């Protein structure tokens, strides 16, 4: 067995921080296009008041803090002033997590640490740490490239064989559509592993983790037990799975289904998955697992832009099949690839629109540090080294020289794609309501097949009723006559299925209309930007030893031997 690395190093007091706000504004630190909202930034951004407004924590910071036997504070979404206030309290080390577009903020934060907490060591991490020579352009003591738990444990002298723990975290801090809060607790976060072996040339996540998959929860039973504990702690059976290709490990996924059916505990999952993994796993198994949302990278229609993961796939048929069983689809497409011209790019835009996913992500072809694409374009001398890192977010400018898309042509093409997709397919919330109806119509006919299907039909019915509350709002804010008619027809379809809304349903609809009216006024007079609230969390060793933690933490009971390379490690969850 590999020996654990243990030292007598005194406990360190550590601060782990994300970059400071405000976010999504043009200032000396950032750009308005780099919004701290995943959907509103790059998915539903053209849908106005109908855009999905969610905030997501800097999840990695909490996982590292929960797995370190030292006092760690996590500062998420601070202001510059709040960050200064915190570091003045004194720390042995300050970790700064950032992505490439937030390079300037990370550099400023490092400078502030040197000024206000000069004895602290500065540790850089996150995808921004992959920037070539980052240690030369941001003053720091250490750079963490790749998985952070292993590195931080080694840094503080902690045993590398200590159990891995999984904190119970919400996947989002805010969920608003038309200003209407999504009811109930938000889905919980689940991280079964990191990395992806598909290693698409543009994918920074896959390359960041060495083009390998490191499993934290290696079996379906381990995932089930972790889900059960987190669900009991947070009061929701829904999970957002942070795993690049969750269904790739078919054996593990099938075991998870078996455990749910064995214990009559039926969770719901939002997953990322590739077409080839979905095809191998099977749509019926996705229903049994309780998958309600799948993010799929279709990328491009043309042969020049195709990827091996999509070979032999008929995207429109796959999306139809998924939505027919109640699985909402987010289809991802890439614009301004090397083969694109102003003349042929519309083919890929229309392809993404025509698959009729619940929503579509368009991203500019962006070579980020550490990816194969970055290395290749750099060798060709095509990288725009004159372009500041804060513009490297894929939603406005190309960070490489594309002869066919000079000036602001890429930006106009991107905006046009989002606008047309919205006008042709209507709002994402309309499509999600429709998917829930289609799924309920399909699955209810199979409710007698098994307890699993009976539960899934009941879940779909509840989801349909919840989303149907938004139909009057959708009609009142329809992007065009087509969406208004679609929403009206869908309302009649639901009435035919389950009858007219009861008193509670009518009150909820009236409330949604009132909130959406307020939201429209808010957007008109206060603007579109929503800043996330600062979150400060203390992880104290003494509290943890006494059974008091800021977040419920579930410990792993045993661990396989660790090598010096965490990508070879496997963590086994408790029974």
Q: What is the 3-state secondary structure (H, E, C) of 481-550?
A: HHHHHHHHHHHHHHHHHHCCCCHHHHHHHHHHHHHHHHHHHHHHHHCCCCCCCCEEEEECHHHHHCCCCC
User: For residue 575, what pLDDT is reported?
Assistant: 25
Output the pTM of the full model: 0.90
Closest CA to 356 of 327, 413, 325, 315: 315
User: For residue 563, what pLDDT is reported?
Assistant: 31
The beta-strand segments (E) located in 80-226 are 93-97, 121-125, 142-143, 165-167, 174-177, 180-181, 188-190, 193-194, 214-215
Interacting residues of 388 by C-beta distance below 8 A, sequence separation 6+: 104
Interacting residues of 49 by C-beta distance below 8 A, sequence separation 6+: 178, 179, 477, 516, 519, 520, 523
If 0-12 CB within 10 Å is exposed, 13-18 middle and 19+ buried, where does residue 284 land? exposed
Residues 161 and 69: beta-carbon distance below 8 Å: no
CA atoms within 13 A on the CB side of 378: 11
Residues 243 and 253: beta-carbon distance below 8 Å: no
Residues 242 and 59: beta-carbon distance below 8 Å: yes
Ranges for all domains in the chain classified under CATH 3.40.50: 13-166+534-572
**Adjacent-strand bridge partners of 410:** none
Residues 110 and 53: beta-carbon distance below 8 Å: no
3-class SS string, 349-378: HHHHHHCCCCEEEEEECCCCCCCHHHHHHH
Q: Residues 502-505: contacts with CB within 8 Å, 24+ apart?
A: 505/465, 505/468, 505/469
Mapped onto helix, strand or coil, the DSSP state of residue 262 is helix
Q: Residues 83-86: contacts with CB within 8 Å, 24+ apart?
A: 83/17, 83/20, 83/109, 83/112, 84/112, 84/116, 86/15, 86/17, 86/536
Measured distance CA(30)–CA(15) in Å, rounded: 23
**Adjacent-strand bridge partners of 269:** 239, 291
Closest CA to 427 of 516, 359, 521: 359
**Adjacent-strand bridge partners of 177:** 52, 180
The residue whose two tokens read 């855009």 is 51
The token duo for 531 is 């800043």
3-class SS string, 165-180: EEECCECCCEEEECCE
Closest CA to 268 of 243, 284, 292, 296: 292
Measured distance CA(91)–CA(100) in Å, rounded: 25
Give Cα separations from 137 to 129, 318, 400 (angstroms): 11, 46, 21
Ranges for all domains in the chain classified under CATH 3.80.30.20: 169-421
Identify the CATH class of 169-421: alpha beta
Residues 89 and 109: beta-carbon distance below 8 Å: no
Residues 343 and 373: beta-carbon distance below 8 Å: no
CA atoms within 13 A on the CB side of 554: 26
- Helix and strand tally (H, E) in the chain? 21, 21
- Could you name the CATH architecture of 13-166+534-572? 3-Layer(aba) Sandwich (3.40)
Measured distance CA(521)–CA(179) in Å, rounded: 10
User: For residue 551, what pLDDT is reported?
Assistant: 61
Q: Phi/psi class of residue 449: alpha, beta or left (left: φ > 0; alpha: ψ in -120 to 50)? A: alpha
First to last CA, the chain: 22
Mean pLDDT by 10 residues, the chain (575 residues): 43 95 91 88 94 93 94 96 98 97 96 98 95 95 91 94 89 91 89 84 80 85 95 95 92 97 97 92 97 94 68 90 98 94 95 97 93 92 92 92 95 97 98 98 95 97 94 98 98 95 95 96 92 93 72 44 31 25
Measured distance CA(349)–CA(353) in Å, rounded: 6
User: For residue 573, what pLDDT is reported?
Assistant: 26
Interacting residues of 403 by C-beta distance below 8 A, sequence separation 6+: none
User: For residue 197, what pLDDT is reported?
Assistant: 81
**Residues composing the chain:** 575
Closest CA to 319 of 268, 353, 270, 285: 353
Residues 114 and 353: beta-carbon distance below 8 Å: no
Closest CA to 309 of 374, 244, 259, 261: 244
Residues 217 and 571: beta-carbon distance below 8 Å: yes
The token duo for 14 is 């550590």
């Amino acid at each position: 067995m590999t020996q654990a690395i243990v030292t007598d190093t005194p406990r360190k007091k550590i601060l782990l921080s994300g970059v400071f706000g405000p976010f999504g504004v043009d200032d000396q630190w950032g750009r308005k296009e780099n919004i701290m909202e995943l959907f509103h930034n790059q998915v539903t951004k053209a849908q106005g008041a109908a855009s999905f407004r969610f905030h997501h924590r800097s999840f990695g910071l909490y996982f590292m803090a929960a797995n370190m036997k030292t006092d760690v504070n996590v500062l998420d979404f601070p202001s510059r002033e709040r960050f200064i206030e915190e570091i003045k309290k004194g720390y042995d080390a300050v970790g700064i997590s950032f992505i490439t577009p937030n390079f300037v903020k990370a550099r400023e934060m490092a400078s502030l640490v040197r000024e206000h907490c000069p004895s602290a060591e500065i540790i850089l991490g996150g995808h921004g740490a992959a920037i070539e020579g980052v240690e030369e352009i941001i003053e720091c003591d250490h750079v963490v490239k790749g998985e952070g738990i292993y590195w931080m444990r080694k840094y503080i002298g902690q045993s590398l064989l200590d159990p891995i723990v999984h904190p119970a975290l919400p996947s989002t801090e805010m969920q608003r559509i038309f200003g209407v809060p999504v009811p109930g607790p938000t889905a919980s976060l689940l991280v079964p592993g990191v990395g992806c072996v598909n290693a698409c040339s543009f994918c920074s996540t896959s390359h960041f983790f060495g083009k390998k998959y490191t499993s934290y929860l290696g079996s379906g039973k381990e995932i089930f037990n972790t889900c059960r504990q987190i669900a009991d702690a947070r009061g929701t059976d829904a999970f957002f799975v942070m795993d690049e290709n969750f269904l790739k490990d078919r054996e593990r996924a099938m075991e998870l289904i078996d455990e749910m059916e064995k214990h009559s505990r039926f969770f719901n999952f939002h997953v990322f998955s590739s077409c080839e993994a979905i095809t191998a796993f099977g749509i019926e198994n996705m229903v049994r697992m309780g998958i309600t949302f799948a993010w799929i990278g279709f990328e491009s229609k043309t042969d020049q832009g195709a990827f091996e993961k999509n070979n032999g796939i008929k995207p429109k048929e796959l999306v139809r099949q998924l939505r027919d069983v109640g699985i909402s689809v987010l289809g991802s497409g890439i614009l301004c690839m090397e083969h694109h011209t102003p003349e042929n790019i519309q083919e890929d835009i229309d392809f993404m629109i025509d698959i009729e996913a619940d929503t579509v992500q368009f991203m500019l072809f962006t070579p980020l540090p550490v990816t194969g694409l970055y290395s290749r374009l750099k060798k060709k001398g095509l990288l725009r080294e004159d372009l500041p890192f804060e513009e490297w977010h894929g939603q406005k400018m190309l960070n490489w020289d594309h002869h066919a898309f000079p000036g602001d042509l890429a930006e106009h093409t991107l905006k046009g794609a989002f606008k047309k997709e919205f006008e042709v397919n209507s709002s994402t919330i309309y499509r999600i309501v429709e998917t829930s109806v289609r799924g309920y119509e399909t699955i209810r006919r199979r409710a007698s097949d098994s307890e699993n299907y009976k539960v899934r039909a009941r879940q779909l019915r509840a989801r349909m009723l919840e989303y149907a509350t938004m139909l009057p709002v959708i009609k009142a804010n329809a992007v065009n006559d087509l969406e208004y008619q679609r929403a009206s027809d869908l309302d009649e379809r639901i009435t035919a299925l389950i009858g007219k809304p009861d008193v509670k349903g009518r009150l909820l609809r009236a409330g949604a209309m009132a909130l959406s009216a307020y939201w429209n006024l808010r957007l008109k007079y206060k603007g579109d930007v929503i800043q996330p609230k600062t979150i400060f969390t203390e992880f104290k060793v003494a509290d943890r030893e006494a059974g008091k933690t800021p977040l419920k933490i579930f410990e792993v009971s045993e661990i396989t031997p660790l090598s010096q390379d965490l990508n070879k490690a496997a963590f086994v969850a408790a029974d």
